[in-house]
Amino acid sequence: MTASAQQAAPARTGGTNPFAWKFTTPLYVGAALNPVNSSLIATALVPIATALHVSVGSTTVLVSSLYLASAIAQPTAGKLAEEFGPRRVFLTGILLVLLGGLLGGSGQNMAMLIAARVLIGVGTSAGYPSAMILIRRRANSAGMSAPPGGVLGGIAIAGMATAAVGPPIGGILVGGLGWRSAFLINIPVALLALGMAARWVPRDPPAAGRRGAREIAARIDVLGIAGFGGAMTALLVFLMGLPRTNWVAFAVAVVLAAMLVWWELHTPTPFFDIRQLGRNGALTRTYLRSALTLLGTYTVLYGVTQWMEAGRGFSTQEAGLLLLPMGALAALLSRPLSQRNLIRSPLIAAAVSMLIGSLGILILTTHSPVALIVVVTLVFGVCVATTTVGNQTALYTQAPADQIGTASGLSRTFGYIGSIASATVTGIVFRHGTTDSGLHSIAVVLIIAGAIVLAMTLLDRRLKTPAANTSQPDAIPAKENT
């Protein structure tokens, strides 16, 4: 049996597939909620501004509020899932999404919509880290030594690949049903996910005895979570304020980060395990690669989309539909790539495709044919698939098994830093108008980022394909140069 076939049909115990569709489907739906919501709102900003009689610029807080909430909540949800059980955290998160959808769908002012986006951001953040814990535990109980590539491929598609289809979906919903549909769509999806998870996701093991509030607070490191949240908030406020320099936010971020480092080095159960990150350089580099490549992905989703609408003259629906092939290609490539459990070659492909796509952006003008725009976005579809699959498999193999939830959440945090950096770059280059020269400035930034990612990948000798699953002795590992 080849490694590809092995991962397509995970290890079986007693003739039972440990990753049957009833187990994986609710995990896929839950993991998709955050990236879809992060990009879904893009096409609703102008209609919201018109309906609420506010400036378009003021509606961008609906994007940044979910980013900020998610950047803090992702590793927090992972830590809580490790401590209290992934199923409990998963279900709680879905309930918050349902509440956010109801609040946003009935919102009458910006305050209600911001609150709804925060609820959606926090709630959707539970999906991915909880899913990774459940998958890791199921693989261990089935005796699988190698990552379940096919399942991770599904999570990859549901995770970051679906972000690319957010604008097209948003364009169709908002164009046909109005801006409230960008919030209300969460209600049926959350109800579906809630029903499937309650019925099919296995219950968490019972807690080992009763624990007091002080012990629980120490176990989950409440002070560490608060310090991390404060430092991230100040950092993101600083980034989102550029090119205007908010030195107060920067100083607060530095001070809180220093305090966080001191605390995490001295607490027995740290939330942000700095020593582990220092020892595990491979995992730290995986986080950095994710941030840099997602800088490119989200710049296409937002910056290039903005240029297509304001510079090229496409409607919201047309701009969204032009990005649909990018999301479709990313989804199509993710699963076969993940089934082979490769790491190094997909990451090289991600860096190369990011460079090629960025060079493509450099030659786009308002007179470029539609076909050329689609080709450039398709190249970034390759980048989305390869970086998501490669970095996710790397994360699975590099993170300690008992910290996979927090590590998975932290990887999403780095991704959101990349996405916020993309919004910052777009805001700076388009501050005086959405022009071809601004688009070309974006391309230069992405070329530099792609070159850094390529160098990091080529020089990283720790990027190796996981060993074949020892529970199937006839399996042959996929070959890859490392």
CA distance linking residue 449 with residue 455, whole number of Å: 10
pLDDT of residue 382: 93
Pick the most confident of 181-190, 426-435, 473-482.
181-190
- pLDDT higher than 50, residue 479: no
The predicted-structure confidence for 144-180, as pLDDT tens digits, reads as follows 877 788 888 888 777 765 666 676 777 778 878 888 9
pLDDT of residue 156: 77
- Give the contacts of 260 (CB within 8 A, at least 6 positions apart): 224, 227, 228, 231, 272
Which parts of 44-185 fold into alpha helices (H)?
45-52, 56-59, 61-84, 86-105, 110-124, 127-141, 149-159, 166-177, 181-184
Contact between residue 292 and residue 452 where contact means Cβ atoms under 8 Å apart: yes
CA distance linking residue 293 with residue 372, whole number of Å: 22
pLDDT of residue 102: 96
3-state secondary structure of 403: helix
pLDDT of residue 481: 42
pLDDT of residue 337: 86
- pLDDT higher than 50, residue 477: no
pLDDT of residue 474: 31
The predicted-structure confidence for 215-270, as pLDDT tens digits, reads as follows 777 777 888 888 988 998 898 888 777 778 889 999 999 999 999 999 989 888 88
What mean pLDDT is reported for the chain? 83
- pLDDT higher than 70, residue 14: no
pLDDT of residue 461: 83
Q: How far is C-alpha 472 from the chain's CA centre?
A: 32
The predicted-structure confidence for 296-323, as pLDDT tens digits, reads as follows 888 887 788 888 888 888 877 787 778 8
The secondary structure of the chain in percent helix, strand, coil, rounded to multiples of 5, reads 80, 0, 20
Q: Using CB atoms within 10 Å of the CB of residue 98, give its burial: 0 to 12 exposed, 13 to 18 middle, 19+ buried.
A: buried
Confidence band, pLDDT 50/70/90 cuts, at residue 11: very low
The predicted-structure confidence for 79-138, as pLDDT tens digits, reads as follows 999 888 999 999 999 999 999 999 999 989 999 999 999 999 999 999 999 999 999 989
Q: Using CB atoms within 10 Å of the CB of residue 446, give its burial: 0 to 12 exposed, 13 to 18 middle, 19+ buried.
A: buried
Higher pLDDT, 380 or 462: 380
- pLDDT higher than 70, residue 445: yes
- pLDDT higher than 70, residue 377: yes
Four-point Cα dihedral 98, 100, 105, 107, nearest 10: 150
- pLDDT higher than 60, residue 44: yes
Higher pLDDT, 481 or 229: 229
Note if the pTM is more than 0.85: no
Q: How crowded is residue 400: how many other Cβ atoms within 10 Å of its Cβ?
A: 12
Contact between residue 423 and residue 39 where contact means Cβ atoms under 8 Å apart: no
Q: How far is C-alpha 9 from the chain's CA centre?
A: 26
Q: Using CB atoms within 10 Å of the CB of residue 41, give its burial: 0 to 12 exposed, 13 to 18 middle, 19+ buried.
A: buried
Give the pLDDT mean for 446-463.
Answer: 92
Pick from 42, 102, 98, 50: nearest CA to 67: 42
pLDDT of residue 163: 66
pLDDT of residue 476: 31
Percent of the chain with pLDDT over 90: 36
pLDDT of residue 162: 64
pLDDT of residue 211: 67
- pLDDT higher than 80, residue 440: yes
Which phi and psi (to 5°) does residue 247 adopt? -70, -30
Higher pLDDT, 331 or 124: 124
Give the pLDDT mean for 206-214.
Answer: 68
- pLDDT higher than 60, residue 214: yes
pLDDT of residue 92: 96
Confidence band, pLDDT 50/70/90 cuts, at residue 276: confident
pLDDT of residue 468: 47
